[in-house]
Amino acid sequence: MKFEAIERETVILDPANNMQPKTIPSEIRKDPLTGKTSRICQFRPLKWKKPDLDQLIAGTEKTCPFCPDKVLKITPHFPESILPEGRLVLNDKVLFPNIAPYDILGAVVTLGDRHYIPMTDFETERIADGFRLALKFFQHIDNIDHPESVYHLVSWNYMPASGSSVIHPHYQVFATAYAPNLLRMELQAAERYMKKNGTNYWDDLVKAEKDGKDRFLGTIGRTNWMTVFAPLGVAGDVVAVVNDISSTLELTDDDLTDLAEGLNNLMAAYDKIGIYNFNVGFYPGAAGDDFTRFHLVFSPRIYFNEALGTPDVAALRNLGNETVCWALPEDINEMLIAEF
C-alpha cells in the first residue's frame, strides 16, 4: 500500500511580521486506490464557531413536510407495482418516494418525530432504524427483481451546509443500475487492483492503517473506522469498511447498529470543534463484486463564510474536482480517537 504525499512550500512576505518571509507548508496527496489528489493545508486551527442554531431553526418546523403532523398526510406513495403498501414505517420513521427524483427509484427516510436533533443528541438506534428502513426497501425491490436493484445507496445530508434544504433529519435512499462517478471510479480501480495484486484493496487498506496506527480509529463489530489519507472534505473524511461483504444487501442488523454507533462517535467528536453539518454516503459494490468491500464515508461540511452563506465547494472543487483539506488527516485522527 503506497501513501504518496508530495510536499510543497509557499513563501509569502508577511505583513504581520514587517514583510519578512514566511514559509507555509502544504501537500498534494494521492488516493492509494484511484490516484485522485487532495491538497492538504495547515494554515488554520481546526476550530469553528457555531452560529445561534436555535435562531437558525426557529419557525422552520411550521412548513416542514417531515414533521409528525404532516409526514403521513403530504408525502407521496410508491405505485403498487413497486411497493404495495405505498410507504414503509418503522416506529416513528417513514420511508416514501422522493418528490424530487434523480433516478427511477428514489426514496426519503425520515429519522423520527423530532424536527431538529443536535449532533450530540442522536441515539444509535435512531440512526440504525433509518438504515433498517432503507434496507427493507432495498430487499423488497431486489425480491421483485427490479432492474435497478444493483447499487443500493443511502446518503445523509445533515443541516444546510451539507446540501440539505430541510432541517428535519432524513436520508436519501436510492437504488440504481448506474453507480455515481466516484463509486464507479473506485469499483473499476478496485477490480484492477485485485487483478494486479490478487488481493482486495479494502482488506489491504484496513490492514495497512491498523499497522500504521496514525489514521486508525478502531473497530466496532466488523466495521473498521479510519481517517482518509486523501480526503474529500475540508475537515477530513472518515471511512468505515465492513469486513467480508461487498454489497449493501449483505449488511446484517448488527452491522447497521455498529455503523450507527461509529457515526454517533464521529458526531460527538466533530461537534467539539464546532462542526454542525456533514454528509454520509454508502459505497457498495453490486452483488458478487468480491474485489470491493462495502464502506461508508462521513465527511464534515462547513461554510467558508458563515455570514454570507459561502459554501465549502468553490470552483476548484466544483469544476476541477480537486479537494482542499484544512488539516493533516493524522491530526484530525488524534482529535477523533477520543470517542472510539
Q: Which residues bind Zn ion (CB under 5 A)?
A: 64, 66-67, 115, 168
Q: Which is nearer to Zn ion, 119 or 205 (CB)?
A: 119
CB-wise, 66 or 326, nearer to Zn ion?
A: 66
Our CB check for Zn ion shows the closer of 115 and 317 to be: 115
Is the CB of residue 33 less than 8 Å from the CB of residue 54?
Answer: no
CB of 166 to Zn ion, least distance (A): 7
| Total Cβ atoms within 10 A of residue 337 | 18
Which residue has the CB atom at the shortest distance from Zn ion? 64
Q: Using the minimum distance from each CB to Zn ion, give the nearer residue, 166 or 327.
A: 166
- Residue number with CB closer to Zn ion (64 or 183): 64
245 in the Ramachandran plot: left (φ > 0), alpha (ψ -120 to 50) or beta? beta
Q: How would you classify the pairing of strands 88-90 and 93-97?
A: antiparallel
The nearest distance, CB 217 to Zn ion, in angstroms, is 32
- Tally the C-alpha atoms within 13 A of residue 79's C-alpha that lie toward its C-beta: 4
Q: Which is nearer to Zn ion, 3 or 116 (CB)?
A: 116
Q: Which helix (H) or strand (E) segment is 140 a member of?
A: helix 124-143
Shortest Å, Cβ 95 to Zn ion: 16
- Residue 64 beta carbon to Zn ion: minimum distance, rounded to whole angstroms: 3
Residue 41 CA to residue 271 CA, distance in Å, equals: 21
CA dist 41 → 49, 148, 206, 221, 324 (Å): 20, 41, 25, 34, 7
Q: Annotate 283-334 with DSSP letters as a single string.
A: EPPPTT-TTS--EEEEEEE-EEETTTTEES--HHHHTT--EEESS-HHHHHH
* Min dist. Cβ of residue 113 to Zn ion (A): 8
Rounded-to-integer distance, Cα 128 and Cα 252, Å: 11
Q: How far apart are the first and last CA of the chain?
A: 25
Shortest Å distance, C-beta 61 to Zn ion = 5
Query: In angstroms, what is the minimal distance from the CB of 60 to Zn ion?
Result: 7
- Nearer to Zn ion by Cβ, of 67 and 240: the residue is 67
CA 138 distance to own-chain centroid: 19
